[in-house]
Amino acid sequence: RGCTLKSCAKASRVSSPPPAGLVNMSMAHQTESWRRQVVYSGRTHAVIVAETKGYGLTGLASLGPARDRGLERYTGEVYALYVDPNYMGNGIGSALLRAAFRLLAERGFGGAVIWALQGNNARYFYEAQGGKEIAMRQGRLWGSRIQEVAFGWDSLAATLGGTPAKRG
């Protein structure tokens, strides 16, 4: 039981059918992919999970250095943020996002970015959390053309209500 990347990601899509890669994603593939991310997490990368007693995994986030070099101010990135559809609206997404921002700040990243598929309802969540639409890009995901929107937070310290962490 609990959230899988496939079930959480499918629930977050709104404007188009899921790419074939998402529909065909197997539990074995998901398990191996996330196992690698956890194993290789280190000083700059991390995976955070939310678990609910009696249910299991209810959300997850992964983070690290920003992959898009064109957004210099946004040095950290939340690569993924998923919440089980059965637990949306219970504060899990907010808690995961704040924890991801805290870890990024502790690792010395000043700002952060999250990329979302255009038309994804998560945009309203990101905006409510203080994210500003800062860029758009086109790409491919599992053989399908996609349009993504970037949401940025200029200052993680300000977002978290504290002083900037020092990289050390």
Question: pLDDT, tens digit, for every residue of 43-75?
Answer: 778 999 999 999 999 999 999 999 988 898 999
Q: In what order do the strands lie in the sheet with 144-153?
A: 46-52, 56-65, 76-83, 112-117, 144-153, 132-141
Segment 37-45 mean pLDDT: 65
3-state secondary structure of 45: coil
Work out the pLDDT band at 167, boundaries 50, 70, 90.
very low
pLDDT, tens only, 85-125: 999 999 999 999 999 999 999 999 999 999 999 988 899 99
End-to-end CA distance of the chain: 40
Residue 33 pLDDT greater than 60, yes or no? no
